[in-house]
Chains A and B, each alone.
Chain A
Amino acid sequence: MQARMYSFKRYRKFILPLIILLAVTEGAAIICGATFGKLFEGLYRGIAFFGNMYPPDWSAFSEMLEPALQSIVIAFLGTVFGALMSIVFALLAASNLSHPWVRAITRFLIGLERSIPEIVILILLVAAFGLGAMPGVVALSLGCIGMLGKLLADIIEEIDPLMIESIESVGGNKLQVIVFGVLPQIIPNIISYTLFRFEINIRLSVLLGAVGAGGVGYELDYSFGMLQYHRAFTAMIIIIAMVFATEQLSYYLRKKLKMEGALK
C-alpha cells in the first residue's frame, strides 16, 4: 500500500501537464484533421508517392543547372549584403559602443525582423517590386539581420572593455575603435556565423524561388505543377546536392578557421 502511495505521489506532478498535453493534442488534431492513426497513413502515402517519382528525368538535368546557379548566386548576394547590414546593426546594438537609445531602437528592430519569416518578407517585396532576383536577394539580406545582427551584437558586448580603452587612450576616434579594437576581435565570429547563415540561405533561396525569386526552387514547383514528377525528381537531386555541398564546404571552412584563429 505504502509503495503504491509512493509511486502515485511520484507521478502526480506529471498528471496535470499530461492531461493538458493530451487535451491540446486532441484539439489540434481536430483542427488539423489528423489523428495519430491517420498520421502514418499520410506518411505512407507521401513515401509511396516519393517512390513513384523515380526514376529522374535526366534530360532535364542540363536545363536546370542554370537555375541552380541562379539560386546559389541569390543566396551568395543575400548573405554578403545581409552580413554587411548585420555588422552595422550589431555595432549600433552593442551597449559598449552605442548610445542607449540607439541601442534600444536597433535591438527592437532586430527582434522584430527575427519574428517575421523570410517568406513573408518576400511576399511583401514581390508585391512592391514584382518577380525576380531582387526581392529574393533583399528578403535574404533582411533575413540575416535578425540572426547575425543579434549574435554579433552579443559578441561585441562581450569584448574586453580594455581593448576599446586601449584605442581611446592613444587618441583614436570612434571609427578607429571599431576598426582596430572591435573588428579584429570579432572577425573570426563574423566569418563563421556568415558561413553558417549561407547554409541557411541556400535552403531559403530554394524555398523563395518557388514564391517568385526564380532559380531551381521555381523549376521544382513548376515541375510539380505540370505533374512532371520525374523532372521534379531531377530538380530535387540537384537541390539536395547543392545543400549537401554547401554544408560540407561551410563545415570544412569553419573548422579550418577555428584551428587557425585559435588563441592559446
Chain B
Amino acid sequence: MSTAELTLPSKKYRQKMTVFSIVVVAVALACIYTNFNPLGIFMEFHYVRDLVGEMTPPNYHVLSDNSSTAMAILQTLSLAFLGTLYGGVIAVVVAFLAASNTMPFRAIRLTARFVLSFLRVIPILVVILIFVIAVGPSTFAGMLTLVIVTVGNFGKLFTEMIENVDNPPAEAIFSVGASRMQVIRYSIIPQILPTLIANLLFAFDVNIRAAIGLGIFGGGGIGFQLQLAKSVLHYKDVTAIVSLIIIMVIVVEKISDYLRRKILGEGKLR
C-alpha cells in the first residue's frame, strides 16, 4: 500500500455523505411509497395509550374460566414438539440421501438436494395455507407445516454435518469389510449424534415461535386463541395470552439451552 491510496478527509467526508444521503433518500422514498410516517408512532401515540388502557389489567381468568386456553398452550407445545420430532427424523433421512459420503447414486442425491433447497425457500405462509385447505384448519395442519419447515430449515445443515464427518473412522470400518449401513451405524451416527440433538433442540426453540404464528392462520393452539380474543376485542384476555406466550417461549428457551449445554458440553453452545 502506498500514499496513492490515501483518501483525504474532505473526499472521505464526501463519500460518507453520499452514502448517507443515498440511504436517507431511499428511506424517505420508501416511507412516502408505503405511506409510513416514522413520526406517526409518536403523533398517534394516544392510540397506543388507549390500547394499553384497554389491555390492563390482564384477565387471567381466561385460564380458569375456560379450559380452552390451557389446552391451547398444550396444543402449541405438542404441535411444535411433534413438528420438530417428525420433521427432524425426515430431515435426517433426506440428509443421508443427499450426502455424498452416504449416498452413492448421483440421481437420488441430486433429487434429495433439490427437494431440500426447494423446501428451504418456500415460505411458511404458503405451507400453512396449503395444509389448512388439504386437511382442514386444525392442530394437525399446523404440525404438518412445522414438519415441512423443519425439513427445509435443517435438512441442508444436517447434510453438511454428515459430509463433514471425519473420514478415518469410516475408512477403518470399511477396511475390515463392513457394509455401507454398518459404516453409517458405527462411524457416522456416533459422530453426528450430539450436534444433531443439539440442533433439534434449537429447532424446537424456533418452532415454538413459529407455532404461535401458525395458529393465526388456522394451525390451532394459542395463536388461534390470541387471534380470537383480539377479533372479539377482549383486550384484557389478549394481554393475559401474550404474557402466557412470553412465559412459554422463555421457559422452552431455557430448557433447550440447558439441555444443549449438557449435550455439547459447557461453553460450546452454538
Do any CB atoms of chain A lie under 8 A from CB atoms of chain B in the complex?
yes
- Interface, chain A (partner B; CB < 8 A): 24-25, 27-29, 31-34, 36, 38-39, 42-43, 45-46, 48-50, 53, 70, 73-74, 76-77, 80-81, 111-112, 115-120, 123-124, 127-129, 132-134, 137-138, 203, 206-207, 210-211, 217, 220-221, 224, 232, 236, 239-240, 243-244, 247
Whole-angstrom distance between the Cβ of B64 and the nearest chain A Cβ: 20
Which of B2-10, B99-107, B136-144, B184-192 forms contacts with chain A? B136-144
A-B contacts, 18 listed (Cβ < 8 Å)? A27-B78, A31-B78, A32-B75, A33-B139, A39-B143, A42-B134, A49-B133, A73-B30, A73-B34, A76-B26, A117-B212, A119-B212, A132-B35, A133-B36, A203-B124, A236-B122, A239-B126, A243-B121
Bound CA–CA A46/B149 (angstroms): 13
Contact status B238-A32, CB under 8 Å: no
Residue from A29, A119, A137, A247 in contact with B34 in the complex, judged by beta carbons closer than 8 Å = A137
Contact status A116-B242, CB under 8 Å: yes
Q: Which of B27, B30, B125, B245 has the most CB of A within 10 A?
A: B125
Whole-angstrom distance between the Cβ of A200 and the nearest chain B Cβ: 11
Contact status A120-B212, CB under 8 Å: yes
Contact status A29-B121, CB under 8 Å: no
Residues of B in contact (CB 8 Å), total 69
Contact status A34-B34, CB under 8 Å: no
Bound CA–CA A203/B66 (angstroms): 35
Contact status B129-A220, CB under 8 Å: yes
Bound CA–CA A1/B214 (angstroms): 53
Q: A28-B81, A116-B242 are in contact. Are A210 and B125 (CB under 8 A)?
A: yes
Q: A42-B134, A117-B212, A119-B216 are in contact. Are A127 and B75 (CB under 8 A)?
A: no
Contact status B213-A77, CB under 8 Å: no
> Which residues of chain B have C-beta atoms less than 8 A from A76's C-beta?
26, 30
> Which residues of chain B have C-beta atoms less than 8 A from A29's C-beta?
78, 82
> Which residues of chain B have C-beta atoms less than 8 A from A123's C-beta?
216, 226-227, 230, 238
> Which residues of chain B have C-beta atoms less than 8 A from A70's C-beta?
33-34
Contact status A77-B121, CB under 8 Å: no
Whole-angstrom distance between the Cβ of A92 and the nearest chain B Cβ: 20
> Which residues of chain A have C-beta atoms less than 8 A from B203's C-beta?
none
Instruction: Check: B41 CB closer than 8 A to any chain A CB.
Output: yes
Residue from B34, B85, B123, B250 in contact with A133 in the complex, judged by beta carbons closer than 8 Å = B34
Whole-angstrom distance between the Cβ of B207 and the nearest chain A Cβ: 11
Instruction: Check: B47 CB closer than 8 A to any chain A CB.
Output: yes
Whole-angstrom distance between the Cβ of B163 and the nearest chain A Cβ: 19
Contact status A124-B238, CB under 8 Å: yes
Bound CA–CA A217/B129 (angstroms): 11
> Which residues of chain A have C-beta atoms less than 8 A from B17's C-beta?
none
CB-nearest residue of chain A to B139: A32
In chain B between 203 and 231, which residues have their CB closer than 8 angstroms to a CB of chain A?
A: 209-210, 212-213, 216-217, 223, 226-227, 230
Bound CA–CA A247/B127 (angstroms): 19
Whole-angstrom distance between the Cβ of A44 and the nearest chain B Cβ: 9
> Which residues of chain A have C-beta atoms less than 8 A from B212's C-beta?
117, 119-120
Contact status B30-A115, CB under 8 Å: no
Contact status B31-A129, CB under 8 Å: no
Q: A74-B34, A129-B44 are in contact. Are A45 and B129 (CB under 8 A)?
A: no
Residue from B35, B143, B209 in contact with A117 in the complex, judged by beta carbons closer than 8 Å = B209
Q: A120-B242, A210-B217, A220-B129 are in contact. Are A115 and B134 (CB under 8 A)?
A: no
Whole-angstrom distance between the Cβ of A128 and the nearest chain B Cβ: 4
CB-nearest residue of chain B to A48: B134
Instruction: Check: B96 CB closer than 8 A to any chain A CB.
Output: no
Whole-angstrom distance between the Cβ of B124 and the nearest chain A Cβ: 6
Bound CA–CA A219/B161 (angstroms): 38
> Which residues of chain A have C-beta atoms less than 8 A from B71's C-beta?
31
Residue from B36, B129, B143, B226 in contact with A224 in the complex, judged by beta carbons closer than 8 Å = B129
Instruction: Check: B94 CB closer than 8 A to any chain A CB.
Output: no
Whole-angstrom distance between the Cβ of B12 and the nearest chain A Cβ: 12
CB-nearest residue of chain A to B242: A120
Contact status A203-B27, CB under 8 Å: no
Residue from A39, A133, A240 in contact with B147 in the complex, judged by beta carbons closer than 8 Å = A39
